[in-house]
Amino acid sequence: MACEPRHKSRTVSPNPRSRVADRLNSKLAMSDRSHPPEIPPFRSESDEREFPQVILHADMDAFYASVEQRDRPELRGKPVVVGGEGSRGVVAAASYEARKFGVRSAMPSFEARRLCPDLVFVRGNMALYARESRRIFEIFDEFSPRVEGLSLDEAFLDLTGSERLMGPARDVAARLRKRVREASGLAVSVGIGPVKMVAKIASAASKPDGLLEVAHDEVGAFLAPLPVRAVWGVGPVGGERLRAAGFETLGQLAACDTETLRRAVGDWGVDIARLAGGEDIREVEAYREPKSYSEENTFAGDVLDRETLEATILTHAESVARRLRRDKLKARVVVLKWRPSERQVPGPRGYPARSRRITLTEATDDGDTLAREARKLLAKARLQEAVRLMGVGAEGLESREAPQLSLFDAPPEKKRRTDLNRALDEISDRFGNAALHRASQGSAERAGLSMQIKRGEKLDEERPNDDDGFEGSPEDSPEDNPEDNPEDNSEEIEAHDEDYDD
């Protein structure tokens, strides 16, 4: 009703990849999940790239079940599921032999048993899978500096601009698959595409043990016949909503004009339609342990006034300290960074940044302490000319040890400071940083602060909690997480939602 469908439902397309659509259709029907879909924020495609984006999505085949079959030869060739066998048990992963019977992950175990009476249940060993995952991610890291883990067995690798060094993406993928096979004895399927969503669908389509590259000019034809649920982020509820509005395939969505879409399903539909057309500008978000935190700003006008500079330093120091405390870290090195207002050399890099650093005898997460040390560095710098940029950084990070215990022995001033910091953090968490002004910070506000979230920094919302059932990261140690330890888990294993994994 919403739009003239470009592809009538289920007609056989001359495109050989329509088999992909059929397979995804059957898979999506099996993997309905109860939670509503979460659509990632959509940014407009305006940034110009030096190289065309190349994304690789690597996804282990039937990961848990394959590990079990590798380690227990008696299970090879048999329909195996990892999961609880009890009345409330759920299938966490199913071998390909089990999938032939229609057994899928997230399915109740009794239903799996009904479909396949000879099914072999394995209780599973999360600690083992986590170890295996770490080994596999170490291999992923060899192929790209930007690896984004989606779960224990699945990751995006950004290959953008790496062709000269690494060779064509297809060759990189072949080498990666070989390396994983040699190191782990397991199969990984790989999809390559110009955007994340296409790479992810391509790896699903290539399974098992496959490799599929979708070139830039093939994206439209590749996506068009797929069911609306194939969009990464559209769950069962969203899929139903789109179908109720008359959309069956991505091609129909992509071909529909914006106004009709908005009337039919709202702004949400407009975003989905862009994705359906292959417009996905989500980038690979690599996670790295932070090595340093910093805040800086560029002044609206050049500044030499000492009071303004010191107030700016305090604002930045407070902000850095807040982030340290949030991530339970302390810093041993304080860095002051500035950029002179006078051009030093011709060209765009004519304003090189200057910095000075100091190492503290005791690591700190206190803003006043960071500010005091940074002010000392400012005094030592003996600035003769105005600056256009001022920043404060913290390096030499170490984890804060047992703060609750040390509070009892802390000298009164230190305890007061700790209490104050905690109060500041609470206000900041509740009302945002704008709510915070210490008396001497007024002038720094006028300097036009740029609060930036640094890439790779630990954030509360760091992990993509998308519709794909994120199951922890390779950094998750099973020892730290009792829920990951099957010893504590009796019969019920959490369903590992291996969405397209077949």
Active site residues: 154
Q: Are 294 and 390 in contact (CB under 8 A)?
A: no
Q: How far is the CB of 330 from Mg ion (least distance, A)?
A: 38
Find tokens 């070989």 and name the residue: 178
Sole binder of Mg ion in the list 60, 255, 313, 317 (CB under 5 A): 60
CB of 93 to Mg ion, least distance (A): 8
- Residue 468 is a binding residue for Mg ion (CB under 5 A): no
Q: Is 497 in the site for Mg ion (CB under 5 A)?
A: no
In 3D space, the residue among 239, 191, 161 whose CA is nearest the CA of residue 17 turns out to be: 191
Q: Which of 213, 318, 373, 501 binds Mg ion (CB under 5 A)?
A: 501
Q: Nearest-CA neighbor of 466 among 247, 154, 227, 240?
A: 154
Closer by beta carbon to Mg ion, 468 or else 498:
498
Binding part of the chain for Mg ion, among 92-100, 153-161, 384-392, 417-425 by CB under 5 A, reads: 153-161
Interface stretch with Mg ion, choices 59-67, 68-76, 138-146, 443-451 (CB under 5 A): 59-67
Stretch that binds Mg ion, among 145-153, 254-262, 296-304, 484-492 (CB under 5 A): 145-153
- We find the least distance from the C-beta atom of residue 98 to Mg ion, in angstroms, to be 15
3-class DSSP assignment, residue 184: helix
Residue closer to Mg ion by CB (options 280, 499) is: 499
> Closest approach of Cβ 139 to Mg ion, in Å?
15
Applying CB under 5 A, the site for Mg ion has a residue count of 6
Q: Binding marks (x or -) toward Mg ion, 321..350, rule CB under 5 A?
A: ------------------------------
What 3 state SS string does 187-249 have? CEEEEEECCHHHHHHHHHHHCCCCEEECCHHHHHHHHCCCEHHHCCCCCHHHHHHHHHCCCCE
Stretch in the footprint of Mg ion (CB under 5 A) among 76-84, 132-140, 361-369, 490-498 = 490-498
**Contacts with 457 (C-beta within 8 Å, 6 or more apart), sequence order:** 290, 293, 323, 327
Nearer to Mg ion, 63 or 338 (CB): 63
Choose between 60 and 219: whose C-beta lies nearer to Mg ion.
60
Query: How would you list the strands of the sheet with 120-122, edge to edge?
Result: 91-94, 80-83, 120-122
Comparing CB distances to Mg ion, the nearer of 63 and 222 is 63
Within residues 35-54, the interface with Mg ion by CB under 5 A covers: none
- Residues whose CB is less than 8 angstroms from the CB of residue 321 and which lie 6 or more positions away in sequence, other chains included: 364, 365, 366, 367, 369, 370, 394, 421
For Mg ion, the nearest residue by Cβ is 501
Question: For residues 174-233, which are near Mg ion according to CB under 5 A?
Answer: none
Burial 40-66 (b: 16+ CB within 10 A, else e): bebeeeeeeeeeebbbbbbbbbbbbbb
Q: 59 or 271: whose CB is closer to Mg ion?
A: 59
Range in contact with Mg ion (rule: CB under 5 A) among 31-39, 49-57, 209-217, 493-501? 493-501
Tell me the closest approach of the beta carbon of residue 501 to Mg ion, in angstroms.
4
Question: Which of 28, 57, 59, 222 contacts Mg ion by CB under 5 A?
Answer: 59
3-class DSSP state of 165? helix
Residue in 132, 153, 497, 502 binding Mg ion, rule: CB under 5 A: 153
Question: In angstroms, rounded to a whole number, what is the distance separating the alpha carbons of residues 375 and 369?
Answer: 10
Given 3-state DSSP classes, what are the helix, strand and coil percentages for the chain, each rounded to the nearest 5? 40, 20, 40
Nearest approach, Cβ of residue 69 and Mg ion (Å): 14
CA distance 353 to 180: 43
User: What whole-number distance in Å separates Cα of residue 322 and Cα of residue 424?
Assistant: 8
| Least distance from Mg ion to the Cβ atom of residue 277, Å | 27
CB 247 within 8 A of CB 256: yes
Pair 312, 447: CB distance under 8 Å: yes
Q: Which is nearer to Mg ion, 204 or 378 (CB)?
A: 204
Between β-strands 55-60 and 154-158, what pairing exists: parallel, antiparallel or unpaired?
antiparallel
Least Å from the CB of residue 80 to Mg ion: 15
Per-residue b or e along 252-283, where b marks 16 or more CB atoms closer than 10 Å to that residue's CB: bbbbbeeebbeebbeebbbbbbbbbbbbbbbb
Residue 136 or 234: the one with the smaller Cβ distance to Mg ion is 136
Cβ 154 to Mg ion, closest distance in Å?
Answer: 5
Q: Is the peptide bond before 208 cis (omega within 30 degrees of 0)?
A: yes
Closer residue to Mg ion in complex, CB, 60/192: 60
Note the residues at the interface with Mg ion (CB under 5 A): 59-60, 63, 153, 498, 501
